[in-house]
Structure 1
Amino acid sequence: MIDSFLAHVLDGGTTEVEEAVREAAAAEISPRFRQLADHEIIEKNGPYDLVTVADRAAEEHLTKTLTALLPGSVVVGEEAVHADPAVYGALRGDAPVWIVDPVDGTRQFVHGDPGFCTLVALAHRGELLASWTFAPALGELAVAVRGRGATLNGAPIRSGSPAPGAELTVATSHPDYTTPDQKRALLGLATEGVRPRPCGSAGLEYLAIARGALDAVAFSWEYAWDHAAGLLLVAEAGGAQTTVAGEPFRITGGNALPFTAARDAATAARVRDLLAGAPDRP
């Protein structure tokens, strides 16, 4: 069952998962958008780390439906890991793993901003196989399958390359989520020809790269639920990624940080060099 389902997904059979993601959003997220009561919003680790009843209900919904689609699979979800950090270890196990962020961009969701999304990725033994990025308030669904490319609302997308000599726009981590060393690394982006800006929903920033609307991201945290779906989406759209150490980002953790994903390999290398303190050579 496991091998046949994985083969089915890799052959482009993603409709069942798309439906599961849409159903979870329709049942648990969209009805609560701009309808949250104060008691339905909780601070986990401060004012920039929020969770709502929608996050928790959507993750529970997806956990049931996704594991039913693939018996023997497990879910590594943001809220489950918050409750039990040991759950994260499943990323290094042998079972297929659904990596779930039920509401990526919870701050935006809480404030009535449509810039949030649901992220789902399927991985096996540390390798990303497929991903789904669904922004219900924007009506956008991006899907990526390893070796099969990336689509947005069913149409193929490509990241392309920045125009030669153009200023690069790079979405970066919020300062509250960076160590002193990471802050110093991110300061490397303060150079001529580069325009860093704070990131919004990580999933939607990755989608912006995949569709050629953003040049790069530079992130200082490695939680798989924020990055797995987007990294595969960018890769399948023709983009590239690298950690500050010049190594590929691993969803299983232990990465040198910060890391970057970008529209093409040359842009990724330039951002990486700036993060590492190398001279800027556009």
Structure 2
Amino acid sequence: MTETLPLPLTPISKAQQTSLVNLVRRAAKTEILPRFRNLSAHQIATKSGPQDLVTEADEAAEAMIARGILHLFPNAVVIGEEAAAKDPSLRQTAAQAELAFIIDPVDGTWNFAHGVPLFGVILAATRFGKPIFGLLYDPMVDDWVIADDQSPTMIAGAGRAPRPATVSAGGTLADLSGVIHFHLLPKDKQAALAPVLPEFLRTGSMRCSCHEYRILAQGGVDFCLSGVLNPWDHAAGVLLCQQAGGHVRMLDGSEYHIGTEQGYLLAAANAETWDRIATALSPLTQ
């Protein structure tokens, strides 16, 4: 009987990671930035509601990145936010795949469509639903935060030496600043959570998961909470937070998996801070 050897934990080499970075940068240069503050009304459409937008930049960038990934990894499953919006079953296909890539071609589309220069490109790779590679790219500055599951989170950019990213030291609730996607919660959960918010130093939202996770991984905020579990928003950021020293779990204590569609995802600076925040947020699970 021939022994089957296990796949490496991260089947993406550093050279391939560099190719992925360059692919995302090219897509931003050719498909995203030329359309920023240059969109006509007919180039912007809605999906699930008036706040959920899609533009020609989203669709063109996703198509270009998907083609490039399949050239590098012809046996991988590749899904993007826009493709999954048309075929929701793609999400579970990716969750079960040995190697899947998940693309958010323009994260922060509402900002992008309204001329706000706070948007990014998110790319994640997963192995059977668990993140193994993450990239958060800022097209406006041409820099990126990157990690795989065997390496620390790094910040790099054109012409600049990479440097490590480190989460904050955390602390007590009164000292914590964080991201809460309050407006995306059901109305009854908003009412339950509202009395808790004054216990924190500051809470808010950037309408852009790319930059919210970037700032979390660099220690600018202490936590991120979301009740909308789209994998294109979270898979890369979860890994980057963990590899920068943070602690990430679903609010029920389970590990993050891209196939999970219900619940609350909490990423925090460390396990002790996570526990404090989770206790304060208990009204969400009652």
Same topology, TM > 0.5: yes
User: Which runs of 5 or more residues in structure 2 are unaligned?
Assistant: 1-5, 157-161
Q: What residue is the counterpart of 1:26 in the other structure? A: 29
- Counterparts of residues 20-99 of structure 1 (less than 5 Å): 20-99=23-102
Once the two structures are overlaid, the 10-residue window that deviates more, 216-225 or 83-92, is 83-92
Q: What residue is the counterpart of 1:275 in the other structure? A: 281
Runs of 4+ in 1 over 4 A off after TM superposition: 3-8, 10-13, 163-166
Following superposition, the deviation at residue 139 of structure 1 comes to 2.6
Matched, 1:107 2:110: yes
| Percentage of pairs with the same residue | 31
Matched, 1:160 2:163: no
Q: 1:161-187 CA distances to partner (integer Å, 9 max, x unpaired)?
A: 136676211211142x22245324533
Once the two structures are overlaid, the 10-residue window that deviates more, 212-221 or 182-191, is 182-191
Q: 1:122-172 CA distances to partner (integer Å, 9 max, x unpaired)?
A: 111112111111011133211111120111112111113136676211211
Q: Is the 8 A contact 2:225 2:265 kept in 1?
A: yes
Following superposition, the deviation at residue 57 of structure 1 comes to 0.4
Q: 1:220-263 CA distances to partner (integer Å, 9 max, x unpaired)?
A: 110100000111110110011122212222211144x2221112
SS at 1:149 equivalent: coil
Following superposition, the deviation at residue 74 of structure 1 comes to 1.5
Q: What residue is the counterpart of 2:151 in the other structure? A: 148
Distance 1:222 1:188 in 2: 24
Residues 222, 193 of structure 1: CA spacing in aligned structure 2 closer, same or farther, 3 A cutoff? closer
The amino acid of 1:259's aligned partner reads: L
Q: What residue is the counterpart of 1:125 in the other structure? A: 128
Equivalenced residue count is: 274
Residues 185, 266 of structure 1: CA spacing in aligned structure 2 closer, same or farther, 3 A cutoff? farther
Q: What residue is the counterpart of 1:219 in the other structure? A: 226
Once the two structures are overlaid, the 10-residue window that deviates more, 218-227 or 7-16, is 7-16
SS at 1:190 equivalent: helix
Following superposition, the deviation at residue 71 of structure 1 comes to 1.1
Distance 1:171 1:69 in 2: 35
Distance 2:13 2:273 in 1: 28
The amino acid of 1:252's aligned partner reads: G
- Counterparts of residues 161-176 of structure 1 (less than 5 Å): 161-162=169-170, 167-175=175-183
Following superposition, the deviation at residue 189 of structure 1 comes to 3.4
Q: Is the 8 A contact 1:174 1:199 kept in 2?
A: no
Residues 139, 92 of structure 1: CA spacing in aligned structure 2 closer, same or farther, 3 A cutoff? closer
SS at 1:102 equivalent: strand
Q: 1:29-80 CA distances to partner (integer Å, 9 max, x unpaired)?
A: 0111111111111111222100000000000001100011001111121100
SS at 1:67 equivalent: helix
Following superposition, the deviation at residue 202 of structure 1 comes to 0.9
| TM-score, reference length from structure 1 | 0.89
Residues 82, 8 of structure 1: CA spacing in aligned structure 2 closer, same or farther, 3 A cutoff? closer
Q: Is the 8 A contact 1:187 1:275 kept in 2?
A: no
Once the two structures are overlaid, the 10-residue window that deviates more, 258-267 or 157-166, is 157-166
SS at 1:209 equivalent: helix
| TM-score, reference length from structure 2 | 0.88
Q: Is the 8 A contact 2:117 2:140 kept in 1?
A: yes
Following superposition, the deviation at residue 24 of structure 1 comes to 1.0
Q: Is the 8 A contact 1:234 1:240 kept in 2?
A: yes
Residues 95, 243 of structure 1: CA spacing in aligned structure 2 closer, same or farther, 3 A cutoff? closer
Residues 33, 275 of structure 1: CA spacing in aligned structure 2 closer, same or farther, 3 A cutoff? same
